[in-house]
Chains A and B, each alone.
Chain A
Amino acid sequence: MPDHMPQSPEKREFIAKSKQFWNPAKTQAWQDMGVDLVIDRREGYLLWDMDGRRLIDLHLNGGTYNIGHRHPELIEVLNRGMQRFDMGNHHFPNQGRTALAEMLARICGGDMHYTMYASGGAEAIDIALKTARNATQRRKIVSIINAYHGHTGLAVAAGADRFKKIFLSDQPEDFVHVPFNDLNAMEDALKGRDVACLIMETIPATYGFPMPLPGYLAEVKKLCERYGALYVADEVQTGLMRCGEMWGYQRYGIQPDIMVTGKGISGGMYPIACVVAREPYAGWLKQDGFAHMSTMGGAELGCLVAMKVLEILERPTMRPMVNYIAETFRNGLHEIMKLYPDFFVGIRQCGLVMGLEFDYPEGAKPVMKHLYENGVWAIFSTLDPRVLQFKPGVLMTADLCAEVLERVERAVGLAHAECMERGRHKTRAA
């Protein structure tokens, strides 16, 4: 740790205990990266480390805290809900679940009609893939190389090797991976007409938010239609107004057959994730409604929170606000780019989904560290560590955005100096 960030004995002790009982390697990895964060108090877009340091949250745990930590309206709805409900019995119709499904059907429009519930994003992805298999009676799943869809059975198999080889969980016979933004590869994968579905994050988050080329997603959707595969949109990180529309796919003019929403739909308050499917492809719900079950999936309290999240996101003030924030960061970050043209080389952006590219091996890691030391928490992209995930919340105030930009300017400068210094050492050593 740098000298100006001393660790309290309590924190040192806690981190040791975390290694002892929770996750030794992960706990240590953060210490090695210079991020000794133990989040204590949290409010809005602010976090306080257990040593009392204030951090602005630009990670949002992948958009989980899209509308901020402990949003007062969510606290209220959860409190009110608990006066009457609990999770509910998953076998029976319940008021919260049906109300949320009805709301999602209205918001998604068209024949996006049925909602299936999970307790988390990965489980929801599994439900979506199972639903596609049931609908098409095909087994194969196509996804993007370096995709990330979560860690359950089918979801992890659809994702990058990084998370499945260690558990011997790859299923090469059923899961095909193609490069992102490559239509020829996509067509090759689909044209055997044996693919149940393509699953794709509208903008791949853990891959550092590379932007779909103009027309790419629309063409992919057409290919799916041509070869009888369903299009499953993983909207866990791109949905919920983060791209400037309720769902990221709306920005690209496509209509998926199945859509998965997670993280932010829970408001970070009560775990829930949802799969919304077009009426013709939700056949198993009519064939055998007991075929997939989840005790905690669609917990009634979670449904209430999710409805409140959607209500907040649908307010007429929301859309302009997202656009104001997106443009403020776009312009402010450009100014910072101009200061470090050899280091800070690109901004990938769709609304508040942003990736900052640094022209240095694993360049996002020193930036992350210096941001952390300068009061901002943003995370590098696991599957492309040159790229920093930069995810402002949809309710960020003008003052907070200005403060973030000031801190980013300082941190990028320090990271730049550190990388250049390292570069000189290397040259000298050679």
Chain B
Amino acid sequence: MTAIVEAILAGDQRATGEADMMLESAEWAAAAFARFDRARIARIARAAADVAYAHAGELADAAVAETGFGVAAHKKIKNELTSKALHDLYAAEDFCSARIRAELKMVELPRPAGIVFALTPSTNPVCSVYYKVLMALFTRNAIILSPHPMAKKCSVRAAKLMAEAAEAAGAPLGVIQVIEQPSLPLIEHVMKSPRVGVILATGGTPMVRAAYSSGNPAIGVGPGNAPVLVDDTADLNAAAKRIVESKSFDNSILCTNESVVIAVESIADRLLQSLKAAGAHVAKPEEVAALRELLFGRGTFNIDVLGKSAIEIGAKAGLKLPANTKIILAEIDRIGIDEPLSKEKLCPVLGFLRVPHAQAGITQARALVRLSGAGHSAAIHSKHAPTILAYGAAVKALRVVVNAPCSQGAAGFGTHLAPAFTIGTGYFGSSSVGENVGPQHLVNWTRIAYNADAAEAFGGFDGLDAWAGGPALALGREAPMTLGRLQEGAEAVQNPPPQPPGRAGDTDEMALMREEIRRMVLEELRGALRS
């Protein structure tokens, strides 16, 4: 093909046309998938999770190589958590079966969203794919993933591995698809498609706003900027270790990472010593200025330092750091628009602010979240329940992690929050969901509700198959049988149709007998009509 011909064929409609076909085939897959029972779903999800787990390390390396963000060893942990651990967690729940609630005279039928359109970020590419795919599988949804262009290679590979495994385990063809060449116009096109059931947006604020303005239901989340308050009742050594562990985890690339330590003056110096002992470098004033310039000199957060290690950032800012430095502490004297270092920092640079007492700390934490990160996360290290409660009530964060690393804890690892890489920022943060997003957000329920009057008896629903009683034509009851695979031997069918293969008692003999009975009935019918 000459370049001229290739150029003519490569119009704008090619990408949208391909995407429309993905949506159409996903729609078929979703219709088939919505009929699966829990046991089939369990097998498919297991297969997808297993292959994801097996490639956790390889894809962690690939993500770091492709994006330059984060720490491969930490990404491997996240990949393992979002495959095996997440699978085990979701597998214990049932999003597939009808719930008969006799006490409420109600039957609840799960209704999947259909097609989940999932945007995945460059910062946590592979684990976000894992997490979103597993949520979709457990809720019997088809999913179309659109990875961040910076991380498309590793994300596409992760999605395809899971798709192949799921299909091999019996999933309908097209249930997991991935856009290999994502672009903004293409994403907007898909977002606006009437075929999309729900958009699961993780990414920058513009992307999340686009999802919300698409006209389709969307679950999008805002940015984080977590304060961490340390009061005079805290175990300072433990707090310091947890803060350093959190802030250095995957080079602080999780949006749940701590942004500014707010330390009560009476323990501030001791806390600094403990932080140093745990691997923090405390920047001198001139170093703080250099960091401010490096991170925010251009107005917005410098993407060159996103997910980079403390050592790399030190080198860029002209700091000489010991090789074992895990994070850099930058002491600041205020929270606000006039101190850029009080903004969200997706890198292991942590602000440090002294306050006279816990009450003032709560005020400053509120100010930090007001600046950015509303509805996201906050942490506190304290043994004083009234302070913890007051902090939780005053700060506009929807999860407050206590005496644990915030990066991991707010994302549901090491706390009893739901493990998630989509952290709902709720109404504070212009989001429809305020929890850690889980499978429950991808399924609605039809509620069959009886008259509450005791005179009206509740029906006997136990053991009934929801899809057996209705008009097969309307429900497309048997349509999913081959799940998008070629149906061999479908050439000529006489009335009545043969039973699907593999059904108990469906021997050739029985088929012949049925055929004979059918012939006799037909002859009788025709005879009756003739006379």
The chain A residues found within 8 Å of chain B, CB to CB, are 71-73, 75-77, 80-81, 84-85, 95-96, 99, 102-103, 211-212, 244, 304, 307-308, 311-312, 315, 317-321, 323-328, 330-332, 334-338, 341-342, 344-350, 395, 397-398, 402, 405-406, 409, 420, 423, 427
- With contacts A99-B1, A317-B25 taken as known, whether A327 is within 8 angstroms of B9 at the C-beta atoms is no
5 contacts across the A-B interface (CB closer than 8 A) = A77-B8, A324-B479, A327-B479, A331-B497, A342-B522
- With contacts A307-B9, A409-B473 taken as known, whether A338 is within 8 angstroms of B495 at the C-beta atoms is yes
A212 vs B489: C-alpha distance in the bound complex, in angstroms? 12
Q: A72-B16, A80-B8, A84-B8 are in contact. List 13 more A-B contacts (CB 8 A).
A: A99-B5, A311-B14, A319-B484, A320-B173, A324-B25, A324-B32, A327-B487, A334-B496, A337-B495, A341-B522, A346-B495, A398-B31, A427-B530
B312 at the A/B interface (Cβ < 8 Å)?
no
Interface centre among B5, B485, B525 (most CB of A within 10 A): B5
Report whether B17 and A72 are in contact in the complex, using a CB–CB cutoff of 8 Å: yes
CB contacts (< 8 Å) of A347 on chain B: these are: 492-493
CB contacts (< 8 Å) of A332 on chain B: these are: 473, 476, 479
B491 at the A/B interface (Cβ < 8 Å)?
yes
A68 vs B14: C-alpha distance in the bound complex, in angstroms? 16
CB contacts (< 8 Å) of A331 on chain B: these are: 472, 476-479, 481, 497
How many of chain B's residues touch chain A, expressed as a range? 35 or more
B184 at the A/B interface (Cβ < 8 Å)?
no
**Mask of B226-252 contacts with A, CB within 8 angstroms, 1/0:** 000000000000000000000000000
CB contacts (< 8 Å) of A84 on chain B: these are: 4, 8
Report whether B487 and A77 are in contact in the complex, using a CB–CB cutoff of 8 Å: no
B304 at the A/B interface (Cβ < 8 Å)?
no
- With contacts A335-B472, A346-B495 taken as known, whether A244 is within 8 angstroms of B5 at the C-beta atoms is no
A-B interface pairs (CB < 8 A), number: 167
Report whether B13 and A76 are in contact in the complex, using a CB–CB cutoff of 8 Å: yes
Min CB–CB distance B524 → chain A (angstroms): 10
Min CB–CB distance A400 → chain B (angstroms): 10
Report whether A315 and B18 are in contact in the complex, using a CB–CB cutoff of 8 Å: yes
Report whether B21 and A341 are in contact in the complex, using a CB–CB cutoff of 8 Å: no
Report whether B525 and A341 are in contact in the complex, using a CB–CB cutoff of 8 Å: yes
Which residues of chain B in 479-531 are interfacial with respect to chain A, using CB atoms and an 8 Å cutoff? 479, 481-482, 484-487, 490-497, 518, 521-522, 525-526, 529-530
A317 vs B20: C-alpha distance in the bound complex, in angstroms? 10
Report whether A349 and B473 are in contact in the complex, using a CB–CB cutoff of 8 Å: no
Question: 4 tightest A-B contacts by CB?
Answer: A320-B484, A320-B173, A324-B28, A334-B497
Report whether A326 and B490 are in contact in the complex, using a CB–CB cutoff of 8 Å: yes
Min CB–CB distance B299 → chain A (angstroms): 40
Min CB–CB distance A285 → chain B (angstroms): 21
CB contacts (< 8 Å) of B525 on chain A: these are: 341-342
A347 vs B21: C-alpha distance in the bound complex, in angstroms? 28
Report whether A402 and B28 are in contact in the complex, using a CB–CB cutoff of 8 Å: no
Report whether A95 and B493 are in contact in the complex, using a CB–CB cutoff of 8 Å: no
CB contacts (< 8 Å) of A311 on chain B: these are: 9, 14
CB contacts (< 8 Å) of A337 on chain B: these are: 495-497
CB contacts (< 8 Å) of A325 on chain B: these are: 28
Report whether B27 and A348 are in contact in the complex, using a CB–CB cutoff of 8 Å: no
- With contacts A73-B14, A327-B487 taken as known, whether A395 is within 8 angstroms of B21 at the C-beta atoms is yes
A99 vs B473: C-alpha distance in the bound complex, in angstroms? 45
